[in-house]
Amino acid sequence: MTRRLTATDSDLVERVRSALARDGVAVVEGVLHPSAVRRAKEALERGAAEDEARGIEVRGSAYDPDELNIRVGNLPGKDAVFREMLELAAVRGVVTGWLGDSVRLSNFSSNTTLPGAGAMALHADQNNIPAPWPTYPCALNVGFALDPFTEQNATRYIPGSHNNDRQPAWDSAQPTAVPVCAPAGGLILMEGRVFHQTGPNTGTTTRAGAFAYFVRSFLAPQFEWHRGIPRDLRADLSPWLRKILGFGQSGGIAEFIPTEAIG
């Protein structure tokens, strides 16, 4: 059973560490204020429309069996609400508590599943790491539930799969996968080795989630933030955001390339 915690727990970081070590998955309720949830959902709608207008694919990706999943990338470069979400104390605490202080944001994208959407194939997020995987954690996916994640629409995972040392077979038929349910405004934390999939949406409503994928800093990020974060935003980034986006002075691109030279 997925361990469910609350953002006000005084020992949140330790409880998350325990849950991730035991289950590979944890849910933290009450992280996002309802106003932030509303702003994020509005920003996703704008982002999807703007991307489609620019010819960027948001439906029918290679990861999905149909066109009923809407995926939007580069969220920190699209709206301030997503940068604010990354700044939350609960987010920073659980990420550094699990991976250590030297971390990078590898990707931050969304997935909105529409009623009738099929299941994504089973996978582990750190599938780019050659097997056998290290025994220590390398990645953590921080999912922001912008709608309720229910048994009818939630991400599904294989319990105990974070103890594996390699990725699973790419297969969407997973009768033993169980849903990770969470209320809107909660966090869904998933260790990088967990076998999981976007579950089918058998309900009658859409389900939106934003997923911030963090890795240890020695791993290359999936998204090139110097191409996604506009120049006029970089000077206003907090030290934490500069660090996790790779614009800091600890192994980031700014250590080797002047900021004004980054296109």
pLDDT the model gives residue 1: 58
- Is 260 a domain residue? no
Q: Model confidence at 262, in pLDDT bands (50, 70, 90)? A: very low
DSSP-derived pairing of the beta strands 156-157 and 178-179: antiparallel
- Is 239 a domain residue? no
Span 207-232, average pLDDT: 95
| CB hemisphere CA count around 180 (13 angstroms) | 32
- Is 75 a domain residue? yes
- Is 238 a domain residue? no
Structure tokens at 23: 């289950």
Q: What is the extent of the structural domain holding 133?
A: 3-223
- Is 263 a domain residue? no
The closest of 101, 206, 82, 70 to 148, measured between CA atoms, is 206
- Strand, helix or coil for residue 153: coil
CB neighbourhood size of 128 (10 A):
13
Mean pLDDT (the chain, rounded): 92
d(CA 195, CA 123): 5
| Domain harbouring 86, CATH code | 2.60.120.620
Q: How far is CA 201 from CA 118, 151, 156, 208, in A?
A: 7, 9, 11, 11
DSSP helix, strand, coil percent of the chain (3-state; round to 5)? 30, 20, 50
Can you state the angle between helices 89-99 and 80-87, rounded to 10 degrees? 60
Contacts of residue 76, Cβ cutoff 8 Å, sequence gap at least 6: 82, 83, 86, 105, 108, 225, 228, 229, 241, 245
At 129-164, the pLDDT tens digits run 999 999 999 999 999 999 999 999 999 999 999 999
- Is 55 a domain residue? yes
pTM beyond 0.85:
yes
pLDDT the model gives residue 258: 47
Q: Model confidence at 62, in pLDDT bands (50, 70, 90)? A: confident
What order do you get walking across the sheet with 156-157 strand by strand? Answer: 178-179, 156-157, 196-197
> Residue 246 region, left (φ>0) first, then alpha (ψ -120 to 50), else beta?
left
- Is 256 a domain residue? no
Span 9-31, average pLDDT: 95
Q: What are phi and psi of 151, to 5 degrees?
A: -65, -20
Lowest mean pLDDT among 177-181, 188-192, 251-255: 251-255
**Number of domains observed in the structure of the chain:** 1
- Is 99 a domain residue? yes
